[in-house]
């Protein structure tokens, strides 16, 4: 990110898709950079996993193992099985 640091942290973020097989490696890499890693929120089955971290300028990033389309399909399948 270019420009001034953000004055405070928020949930506004930039997300990037990663493959599940790279999750542990990328989590360790982010931690090794000394960045503030946030715990991912609880998710429903099939929604994927996320690594959230703030950079030194208060920007929030997410590395996620799924796509919005996959999430929406999972939600739709869950609702269909409830009915």
Active site residue 62: yes
Residue 59 backbone dihedrals phi, psi, to 5 degrees: -80, 140
- Out of 4, 20, 28, 62, the active site residue is 62
Neighbours of 41 (CB within 10 A): 8
Active-site positions?
62
């Amino acid at each position: 990110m270019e420009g001034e640091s953000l004055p405070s942290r928020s949930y506004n973020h930039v997300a990037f898709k990663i493959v599940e097989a790279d999750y542990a490696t990328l989590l360790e890499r982010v931690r090794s950079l000394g960045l503030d890693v946030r715990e991912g929120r609880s998710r429903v089955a099939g929604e994927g996993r996320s690594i959230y971290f703030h950079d030194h300028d208060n920007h929030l990033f997410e590395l996620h193992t799924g796509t919005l389309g996959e999430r929406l399909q999972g939600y739709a399948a869950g609702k269909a099985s409830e009915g």
